[in-house]
Chains A and B, each alone.
Chain A
Amino acid sequence: MGMTMTQKILAAHAHLPSVEAGQLIEADLDLVLGNDITSPVAIHEMDGKMKDSSVFDKDKIALVMDHFVPNKDIKSAEHCKCVREFAARHEITNFFDVGEMGIEHALLPEKGLVVAGDVVIGADSHTCTYGALGAFSTGVGSTDMAAGMATGKAWFKVPSAIKIELTGRLSKWVSGKDVILHIIGMIGVDGALYQSMEFTGEGVSALSMDDRFTIANMAIEAGGKNGIFPVDEKAEAYMKEHSVRPFKAYEADEDAEYARVIRLDLSSIRPTVAFPHLPENTRSIDEAGEVAVDQVVIGSCTNGRMDDLRTAAKILEGRKVKKGVRTIVIPATQKIYLQAMEEGLLKTFIEAGAIVSTPTCGPCLGGYMGVLAEGERCVSTTNRNFVGRMGHVSSEVYLASPAVAAASAVTGRISGPEALGM
């Protein structure tokens, strides 16, 4: 029986000729990732429980201080200090602190640390982002991260897969965010539980790399183990631009078995919004109704990349955000921040009445930089709208694309760019 793309990558890293769904394997890791929230727990596990607390490879560990930095309080500062000292002690090559950091899942591909064919674990659920490059990457907890740092290996149950065949092209103002929200709306927040989401079909070629990162990023919101794209010319060009590492493109066998096949015509997708309090509560912008908002967030590991900022700027150019709508724009990395500055996007945001922040996960998880009060509503390009996710338990988060978020900032209610005559 043939293997899926994910199964082929896992088989190669487990040194097996083939694997099948359900099989337990131990795989070599190309990279182990942690952030300022999850790494301290992993470091404590390593230092406290391992007899030999050395790391397997100082070049294959990435520690990114992105959730609560620049530190929001003393406890967060202590966490970063713990990781900083660990990185120094073990001479970790890829330790990214304030000034060099970015939101981890935007940063690692940009730094060329992940390429096609890799197996990557990260103590952050959105580690599945790197599937956009044709890598197998998945989120784990801190103990798995600790074990990965110590041994360079992790155990996996080989996943079955959902094949998502994309055809057609996206309409104007529709982006990768709308695609993944639409899919989660179709299959539910556990629709891909324990499974791979393998995106294929002629529609893939028209998706930008930033769209693919956004789509793979939210595979976890359907319960998926990973989301993965085939390696085409765009992906190769991206890797050649950003990485010096050799990559390996795997293709699914023609007779690979899929648990489910979904066919999706990209041209049929409308701007999509996930209503509180689950990413599966999706409605098209046409069904959104009248929802007034207090805050707009444009950023995160899902939507803080150049495509996202350019789209938001196109809409905010020459316009003002509605009075009373706090609009927070967060470029995902220092490089993106600089590029946005050079392109004049930051000026556009500030002139429109938005604020621009240094890279941080901050508001996405209700950490800081935009925490909501009781009963407040936010349209956000982030990835989760659970109860209390961005602040008070009675606050509400509406997940949307950068285009919808920017248009909503101008109108003060959930709107697409069409509401502005665009």
Chain B
Amino acid sequence: MRAQGTVFKYGDNVDTDVIIPARYLNSSDPAELATHCMEDIDRDFVKKVKKGDIIVASKNFGCGSSREHAPISIKAAGVSCVIAETFARIFYRNAINIGLPIIECAEAARGIEAGDEVEIDFDSGMIYNKTRDTRFKGQAFPEFMQKIIAAEGLMNYINETKKQA
């Protein structure tokens, strides 16, 4: 699996309140949530984002509320991958559980800037910054998580394992 797109870059501690403000949590419709994605940190995000684009951030991306609406809105907005130095743990789980690809890679987070064109090979974990001709190796997922990702989410994975049992 591969992804390619233009980068939106953010700093430390991007919290789930700015990713999807609580005033929109009276909806759980992915398409509607996508129209407010990143609204309180970057008002222009939804106007500019194209299918396949990539979010790159520094430390503790997705901290705060457990709202799964946050990765849902990012995925529904068309983002193909989020790369960060570190992720807050609930966001990390949620992203894997709903099938939003994420990669922890401090070097990439530091070596990629807003507007860069980036290509990612999920099988090898390689991140290629086409704009700057630099390469980074992201951390591979443990086998267990790879199975969830391959099944396109936790619920499908449970269905499959239940079927086998």
Contact = CB atoms under 8 A, between A and B. Distances in A.
Interface of A: 24, 37-38, 40-41, 44-46, 49-52, 67-68, 72-73, 75-76, 79, 122-125, 127, 139-144, 146-147, 150-151, 155, 189-190, 193-194, 220, 223, 225, 278, 365-367, 371, 384, 386-389, 393
Given A41-B28, A194-B89, A141 B66 contact: yes
A38 B68 contact: yes
Nearest to A392: B40
Contacts of A388: 17-18, 21, 40
Nearest to A124: B66
Contacts of A73: 26
Contacts of A123: 66, 68
A79 B28 CA distance: 9
A76 B27 CA distance: 8
A387 B12 CA distance: 13
A79 B41 CA distance: 27
Contacts of A38: 66-68
A123 B72 CA distance: 15
Contacts of A144: 93-94, 97, 154
A24 B86 contact: no
B90 A367 contact: no
Contacts of A155: 144
Interface residues of B, number: 41
Contacts of A52: 162
A140 B88 contact: no
Given A190-B13, A190-B86, A388-B18, A24 B144 contact: yes
Nearest to B60: A190
B64 A384 contact: yes
Contacts of B35: none
A46 B71 CA distance: 18
Nearest to B96: A143
From A366, A371, A389, residue with most partner B Cβ within 10 Å: A389
B159 interface: yes
A68 B97 CA distance: 26
Contacts of B27: 75
B22 interface: yes
Given A49-B159, A52-B162, A387 B17 contact: yes
A15 B20 CA distance: 38
From B90, B158, B162, residue with most partner A Cβ within 10 Å: B90
A49 B159 CA distance: 8
A51 B163 CA distance: 10
A287 B164 CA distance: 62
B17 A386 contact: yes
B26 A44 contact: no
B90 A139 contact: yes
B40 A143 contact: no
